[in-house]
Structure 1
């Protein structure tokens, strides 16, 4: 039976991949840390691993030590494929696959899919339209680089290597830069593994337009983009994601433009065999600006949305690619699905969530925070208290139903 090494199954993406591997008749070795397994894994995922998988513990904060340990383990166990279900480990997965002679992405360019500073440089070198970017380690350097690059406000300030909109803000004037810079610099370790991150702060020109996401499947250097889907973010100085709809309501010419941009970005960042999750903006003049790309599956239950709307199981594709198998990208349905996240009006203690309703469009609703627990103020993805998944014949129907759900929901915080 083939064996798959799964680096960190924390979060919904890991569970999707674990299930897909088991459905394919693949043994799964899950690599994590004991504290993460005990405190961050759901009871359902822990039970699945205990019943159908193997658990291996390592220290991902020591990437070189983890690489040595996992290379030895993979060789002794006869591992046939490596995947990372936590984006901070995608460079490690690429290096490990290369050392083992297994399918994977270009390890020499893997950091460009994780580090936004390196990513911006790669986009520029390959002529990929993207926001103009500078990166600084100090506030004084940031002011100087903004002047040299002639970047006008507003600008977007973000950490080089964080995720989930942590430390990301829109800065509208020089007087706001210091606070935003300090916030971006406050996230120098990725928890819960304690992985050290690049201390540079990325500052980019703000671009308008409408934001979309798209998945690209790359098989031995040949990239096949799927379809664009909507990405919804909050307005204001903080830009947290609050939902997605699969597929996007786009005309075919615009969808073609987005697909071409996604393929070019994947080639530029060294995605040679795997999945590329790309986020970009479509401008009113019909051009695109690449925001970022990850050599990974999408989070936010998008894997489930794509499967529900189009019948394409991206987690299954991810496992097949890692094992050197040819995936089937043929859609088997033609509907739409969406997710909307529930966020509190302010930080405090969650009292209740009500008003979701039970219309035929709502496929699933779930709280991720229990009443009585403390919640973060809105501003990043960790402030979410739950989500609603919707399913309908068209994206327009999903979006209309989602707007109604969000209008009706009441979140009480004490």
Structure 2
């Protein structure tokens, strides 16, 4: 039986196997430790075995399948019946978010309604809910085959986006300009799609995301992130800047729409990461997530808002700890560039050691070396490197990240790819 004298955190899904997810999970555990919390992690057996830095940090681990609906909630109820207690139920991984909500409800901990989390993870249901609540949304259709997709294309205005119903990280997402491009877009959908997919009208306008946390049940925006994407047909993000460089009135408009949208979707707890566009007609909300943003946004945000503990805010809110909301605004800037050298066989890399030695670098990764194949940059899974920096202003951070990216020289044999 666990010692119940300290606040108890159930960390559902722990870390994934990749460096980013491990770093996020480590930060979440460290911030729980600072609050005197006892941490119990559940995960798949193989992942627990391959993430020792997490298992060594926590008080207990259990093998529980967080991807199977209802399994973790049933396990948690058994733990409570045995005399244990969970004050906070938390998770970071996309596939764990519904389970987090179900489990919190099962043990009486603060959390989002499970049906609300299920709704935002199903892209068409989220779009329909926002449209019904009066928010600007593109026309869309859930399709089961190419025939249904062609029918929608004939009845709507292009360009269009073809994407899975419940994936993330731009996986399987393609922009098409004409019906003739549909076949290639369908071929790009992930193999494990259940046979259904979404076709929707493309939203014209610069893309942003909103990073924040729910405090007392209300969305509190921490910062906006501006994004640069590779040209279509795919949606590979190559730059983030925090806070976004845009006029104050535009930032306020986005903040109002994000807060209203999250409220309309019935969300009340945890972190949030909302994707959106600023168009001529106004703000168009995209996908909403009750987790931190990916792509090292958690590290960038912690530089932009000194002393920020994004995960700790979730615990503080759940435990009723005091929070100084006035301090939760950016006073510095951060930026990241995701490296996109020409596809082919990598022959040589120059300038990387100088990047690693730069004092303003928050994080730098290069996952390829001479002899490796660089695949076409079609989704976040193809990222081969990144450079994240911090500076006094977002403008300075953006300029430095671009300068450092340009200083790295890739020699690539495109024919060998």
> 1:6: Cα distance to partner?
1.0
Corresponding residue number in structure 1 for 2:361: 362
Q: Displacement of 1:222 after TM fit?
A: 2.1
Verify: 1:169 aligned to 2:174, yes or no. yes
- Alpha-carbon distance, 1:185 to partner: 5.2
CA distance in 1 between partners of 2:183 and 2:59 (Å) = 48
Which structure 2 residue ranges, 5 or more long, are not aligned?
Answer: 1-5
Measure, in 2, the Cα distance between the counterparts of 1:253 and 1:246.
17
Q: State the match for 1:228 in structure 2.
A: 224
Q: Which blocks of at least 5 consecutive residues in structure 1 are unaligned?
A: 189-197
Structure 1: distance between partners of 2:114 and 2:312: 23
Q: Distance in 1 between matches of 2:397 and 2:188?
A: 36
Deviation of 1:67 (Å):
2.9
Structure 2 residue aligned with 1:342:
339
2:123 corresponds to? 116
Alignment equivalent of 1:245, drawn from 220, 241, 247? 241
How many aligned residue pairs are there?
Answer: 396
Q: 1:142 aligns with which of 134, 149, 173?
A: 149
Distance in structure 2 (CA, Å) of the matches to 1:73 and 1:214: 36
* Distance in 2 between residues matched to 1:407 and 1:92, nearest whole Å: 43
Alignment CA distance shift 1:21-1:347 (3 Å): farther
Partner of 2:3: none
Once residues 303 and 10 of structure 2 are traced to their aligned partners in structure 1, the CA distance between those partners, rounded to angstroms, is 27
Does structure 1 conserve the Cα–Cα contact (< 8 Å) formed by 2:368 and 2:384? yes
Which position in structure 1 is the counterpart of 2:43? 32
C-alpha deviation, 1:282, in angstroms: 0.8
TM-score w.r.t. the length of structure 2 is 0.88
SS at match of 1:21: helix
Q: Deviations over 1:147-177 (max 9, x none)?
A: 3xx3222101110111111100101110111
- Alignment partner, residue 382 of structure 2: 383
Cα deviation, residue 317, structure 1 = 1.2
Q: 2:78 — aligned with what?
A: 72
The 2-side partners of 1:38 and 1:232 are apart by 37
Q: Deviations over 1:240-288 (max 9, x none)?
A: 1222111011111001001011101111222112222111111245x11
Structure 1 residue 300 corresponds to structure 2 residue 295: yes
Q: Which residue does the alignment assign to 2:28?
A: 17
Indicate how the Cα distance of structure 1 residues 151 and 71 shifts in structure 2: closer, same or farther if over 3 A, else same. Answer: farther
TM-score when normalising by structure 1: 0.88
Aligned Cα RMSD in Å? Answer: 2.3
Q: Is the 8 A contact 1:7 1:83 kept in 2?
A: yes
Corresponding residue of 2:55? 49
User: 1:23 and 1:75 mapped to 2: Cα distance?
Assistant: 28
Seen in structure 2, the aligned counterparts of structure 1 residues 260 and 31 have a Cα distance that, compared at 3 Å, is same
SS of 1:124's equivalent in the other structure is: helix
Structure 1: distance between partners of 2:287 and 2:380: 17
Higher relative contact order (CA 8 A, sep 6+): 1
Aligned position for 1:192: none
Q: CA deviation at 1:199?
A: 4.2
Q: Secondary structure at the match of 2:336?
A: strand
1:215–1:225 CA contact under 8 A, matched in 2? yes
Q: Does 1:209 align with 2:205?
A: yes
8 Å contact from structure 2 (residues 334, 397) kept in 1: yes
